Chains A and B, each alone.
Chain A
Amino acid sequence: MRRRHLAIPAIAIAFAFTASTQQRGGGTPNPAGGRGRGGMGMSAYPQRHVDPAAVERGKGLYSVNCAFCHGSDARGGEGGPNLLRSTIVLSDSKGEAISPVVLEGRPAAGMPAFHLTPAQIADLAAYLHSFPVGGRDVARSAPPTIVVGNAAAGRKYFDQKCVACHSTSGDLKGIASKIEDPKALQQTWLMPGGRGGRGAPAVAAPPATVTVSLASGQKVEGTLERIDDFVVTLQDKEGVLHSFARAGARLAVELHDPLKAHLDLLAVYTDKDIHDVTAYLVTLK
């Protein structure tokens, strides 16, 4: 994402939609496991292989003996801790590590002893090891919607703050049909083109442009490819790249960022403003 996608057709209006519904922010979740990946692009902490029949037997045993205290999903319940992150459960292979705790209980912590057979404990272990373990568990249920704001208040805000550049009958007409996911819509109106740095943007934003004035008086204009303390590179209308060394040269460089207003507003919005504007924009089908 360090290189901007440059094959953007000429854009006259503020939003050009590429209809991307890709998830942004953190990439594809691992089915289980932590932040990173292991070698060869594989999950760093792959899901364990367990016998489905043992899991079924263990599930029954768990529901009878364990679920009340540790929760039906083993993430903790009435007094019992989360077992999925338990160091004993994680280190266990086939019941050998959890066995002493099951058989002896933890009287000081209020856990009674359970008189289960080694085979039953192995089944319980298989059930516990069938859960994905890690923060990024896509199976977790999410809130039904991110739209929590007041549409009427959002409209008022829009009419005061946004109409100088945008129109619901012009560039934003049907915006909620073009970006159906309210989260993607919110991210997009906050910063079209996605400058958060992760994943593909839902819309392509108009690119920054630059005007370079040479010592000869000649001016070269185009879309900004790169600028740093030493070089400015632009692409002109014909698609030709022009690079200029800045150090020691008498260049005047003028940057034009069409999204500067969006950037400046980030320090101004309240979260309520944002939620309200999104609640309004999702009505623009």
Chain B
Amino acid sequence: MILRISMAALALAVLSPAQGLNPADILKPLSDSWPTYSGDYSGRRYSSLKQINQSNIRQLALAWSTRVTAGLPSAGPGRMGGFGGPAGPPTIVGGEGTGDLNESGGRSNRIVGAVLMVNGILYASAPDNAWAINAVDGQVLWHYVWKTKGGTHTGNRGLGMWGNWLYLETPDNYLVSLDARTGKERWHKPIADLNQQYFSTAAPIVIGRHVLVGTGDDLDEPAFLQSFDPETGDLQWKWFATAQKAGDPGVETWRNLDAAIHGGGQMWIPGAYDPETKLYIVGTGNPTPAYTSGTRGEGDNLYTCSLVAINVDTGKMAWYFQTSPHDTHDWDSTQTPALVDAEFNGKPRKMVMQATRNGYFYVLDRLTGEHLVTGKFSPTVNWASRMDAKGRPVRDPAKDFDIGGALVSPTNAGATNWMPPAFSPDSGLFYLTSEDSYAEYYLTETDPRGAMGLGGKDERGVAVAGTYLTAMDYRTGKIAWRHKYENSRAWGGTNVGHGLLATAGKLLFAGDPSGNFVAYDPANGTPLWHTHLGEVSNSPETFLLNGKQYVLIAAVDMLYAFALND
């Protein structure tokens, strides 16, 4: 009891109302600020702001732009100094590596994640790097760079915030806490073992007094979601996606315990949170070995490729629904779910919706995990032979791979990927960018024990038959409309389109494959406004500052803020 009181007093002391972020503020529907990965906990990316709307969208113009520069001080061009120009922002250096591996460009100079906006300051990130930026004009206030020990540098999905503290995950698997006011490091804690080939790209999600942290791994190592204390960085709980000891639930869906322990399910994209049930609903990754699945047995390989609901206080799973039983293509089901309260079959329903990398769209009851709807958002998808009684696609083993090649839709990158979708309560539609694509999957592993990790196959792309802005009707699971991007080409890498933002101004913002940043009509996908930025790299956001609504977008190392012309 005494402990509890002192903790509460401590929390109050830290969270002075004038500064920082009160975690209770994240419970509010998305409006003036952008305090967490999806803007709010719902994952809908629907803003109630409507100063910018269909009637004035043609007056949307550049308010400011700014460039961020990754890497250690003195690294790379533009950091030579002494040739005029304003001094750079203060740079704070942390980390346990030597600095030899830090990039000054590449993925480390690429903003793909959420940019937080709290009290007029933006907080952006890339692998090993974080920046604070003045939201009024784009001035970079400080830059933090982490000396890395290695790990896969694919991207960074954003920062988490609690009070005056920021949380950054690093590719070499640390959770770093920074002072939001100065960029100075408070502490860093190891969250996974680099020798086991983990890498951490996720955005930490702050819920009350929990910092939820996911990681990634492409070898066959255990997948876990961890909760840390935002003040001390101490571990509160650790939930494993697969059984780690005899008798753990789901172990019966694996060939044996060793297979389950090495079965993967990495949670590298943040989930959504339902404050009513205290459930954090997150998608789990693909089972491993990803392709040659013989060592996994014939079962479903729980709880990989599933939506799982985890109680944030206990770390215990309340329910699950598997969206890709026994996946064999590295199609993780980590995509951001959206929590929607709306009518379904004539009754109000609390739902969760997810469009997964395997080409299917799901609607569940989020209180119980009860299946409501399955639909297909990529019509070319051909890896499933039928749907089972639970509404799950049943994989066709002939479409796993073949020595002579199996023509499979979609490619490994998926029919969608990490790009956040959006849901608009105005239109009742769920939006995503999607790809109809084909690849030949050749079996290359002749060893009956199969391969490890992502090995055992040679996937060769054949064609992208079409790329789309896609709207799904949650009531039927059917495609409501698709806006085709003409002359579609592969986006490249694991990029399958772009993240989305829906607003109460009846606008839907997204990048397109040509590098345009576009506002569409959410009713039908008609473009209403655009500007060419070259390459749109993160998801659009919006916030209100000094009475003015801004729309924010990243284009690699550039940030652009748009507002209405005065």
Question: Residues on A close to B: CB < 8 A?
Answer: 1-2, 4, 24-26, 33-42, 44-46, 71, 75-76, 81-82, 84-85, 87, 90-91, 133-137, 140-143, 146-149, 183, 186-187, 190-191, 194-198, 208, 224, 226-231, 247, 255, 262-263, 266-267, 269, 271, 274-275, 278
Inter-chain residue pair count (beta carbon < 8 A): 262
Cα A4 to Cα B413 with chains together (Å): 20
Question: Residues on B close to A: CB < 8 A?
Answer: 100-103, 106, 108, 127-128, 148, 150-154, 171, 193-197, 199, 217-222, 258, 261-262, 289-290, 295, 380, 382, 398, 402-407, 409, 411, 437-440, 442-447, 449, 451-456, 458-465, 485-487, 489-492, 512-514, 516, 518, 527, 530, 532
Across the interface, A135 reaches (CB within 8 A) one of B451, B460, B486, B491, namely B451
CB pair B193 A38 closer than 8 Å:
no
CB pair B407 A269 closer than 8 Å:
yes
CB pair B455 A134 closer than 8 Å:
yes
- Residue of A with least CB distance to B451: A135
- Shortest Cβ distance from residue B417 to the other chain A in the assembled complex, whole angstroms: 13
B residues near A34, Cβ cutoff 8 Å: 152, 197, 199, 217-219, 453-454
Contacts A/B (CB < 8 Å), 28 sampled: A2-B492, A2-B513, A25-B459, A35-B154, A38-B101, A38-B148, A39-B106, A39-B127, A75-B447, A75-B452, A82-B258, A91-B193, A133-B219, A135-B451, A135-B455, A136-B455, A146-B442, A147-B404, A183-B405, A183-B458, A183-B460, A186-B405, A195-B464, A196-B437, A230-B527, A255-B486, A266-B407, A271-B405
CB pair A271 B402 closer than 8 Å:
yes
CB pair B453 A40 closer than 8 Å:
no
Cα A119 to Cα B440 with chains together (Å): 48
Cα A148 to Cα B403 with chains together (Å): 8
* Chain B contact surface mostly: loop
- Residue of B with least CB distance to A187: B460
CB pair A196 B196 closer than 8 Å:
no
CB pair B407 A142 closer than 8 Å:
no
CB pair A196 B439 closer than 8 Å:
yes
A39 and B150 contact, Cβ closer than 8 Å, known pairs A82-B452, A266-B407, A274-B405: yes
- Shortest Cβ distance from residue B258 to the other chain A in the assembled complex, whole angstroms: 4
Cα A71 to Cα B152 with chains together (Å): 29
- Residue of B with least CB distance to A182: B404
CB pair B454 A35 closer than 8 Å:
yes
A residues near B194, Cβ cutoff 8 Å: 45
CB pair A87 B453 closer than 8 Å:
no
Across the interface, B404 reaches (CB within 8 A) one of A76, A230, A266, A271, namely A271
B residues near A146, Cβ cutoff 8 Å: 403-405, 442
CB pair A134 B442 closer than 8 Å:
no
